[in-house]
Amino acid sequence: MVESVAANETDTNSQAAVGESVSQGRFIRLTGFMLVTGGVLWFLAETAWGIFVLGAGDPSEYPQPLASILWVVIVVALISMLVGLPGLHVYQAGRNGLLGVIGLVTLSAGLVLMAGLAYFGAFLQEAVAELIVEAEAAGLSVEEPASAMIGYLAAYGLHFIGWVVFGFAALRARALPGWPVVLAMVGSLLMVIIGLPLLTAAGVTWLGFALVRMERGRTRPVSEA
């Protein structure tokens, strides 16, 4: 009788462990897909921005509604990556340590601020640009406030610091492929220097694909191996 109860408890615990593993696997794959979605959208939007928008020069002359649409795509991309980041941490199963957690939080804060800047570009920048043109036409002097530069530096700075810290912890843990992590780290530096996010977007996309592929391989039943 005692042996039967013990066996039932063992089976129950085993089933619970399997269920938890399956749920975690689904979460990691979902976050991997979110990283891929965010990285691809960011790469495409920034490429289109460079081709069709930057040539206009002054923000008041940006082609509309294309510029606003691209800003919206960037917002969606950044939010998708923000949702996908925890999967990278969970997959490493704590091997990236406290440093990885600090990097994840810092990187997430940078993405939130960057999404806020993109939201401003999507829904407010055109109206602000029109007000500036009207003010200048009326003979008023309009200068960009220092707070705007502080906002940009805070967003891109946190994003860069977050990738450096999180990336260093990930490279040390050796649970994630190293090259896409390095690509994202280098890309975040280029964002600070020249505002070019394509390498980071490519690194994030690569990490998302790797996350989905590695998790599928890890959770595949033995009979399918």
Which among 206, 207, 199, 209 is positioned nearest to 46, based on CA atoms? 199
- 59 pLDDT more than 80: no
Considering only residues 132 and 109, tell me which one the structure prediction assigns the higher pLDDT: 109
Number of domains observed in the structure of the chain: 1
The pLDDT tens digits for 133-149 are 667 667 776 677 777 78
Neighbours of 183 (CB within 10 A): 20
Is 2 contained in some domain? Answer: no
Q: Amino acid identity, residue 23?
A: S
In sequence order, the 6+-apart residues with CB closer than 8 A to the CB of 209 are 32, 36
For residues 107-118, average pLDDT: 96
Is 45 contained in some domain? Answer: yes
- 193 pLDDT more than 70: yes
Is 225 contained in some domain? Answer: no
Listed range (54-58, 82-86, 188-192, 208-212) with the worst mean pLDDT: 54-58
What is the domain extent for residue 100? 21-220
Confidence of residue 7 (pLDDT cuts 50, 70, 90): very low
Cα(46)–Cα(80) distance, rounded to whole angstroms? Answer: 16
Is 91 contained in some domain? Answer: yes
- 13 pLDDT more than 50: no
Quote the pTM value: 0.82
* Cis ω before 65 (30° cut-off from 0): yes
Confidence of residue 220 (pLDDT cuts 50, 70, 90): very low
Is 7 contained in some domain? Answer: no
Vertex 20: Cα angle to 18 and 23 (nearest 5): 110
Helix (H, G, I), strand (E, B) or coil at 99: helix
- 224 pLDDT more than 70: no
Cα(149)–Cα(146) distance, rounded to whole angstroms? Answer: 5
Is 40 contained in some domain? Answer: yes
Contact 205, 39 (CB under 8 A): yes
Is 92 contained in some domain? Answer: yes
Contact 83, 31 (CB under 8 A): yes
Is 32 contained in some domain? Answer: yes
- 6 pLDDT more than 60: no
Cα(108)–Cα(88) distance, rounded to whole angstroms? Answer: 12
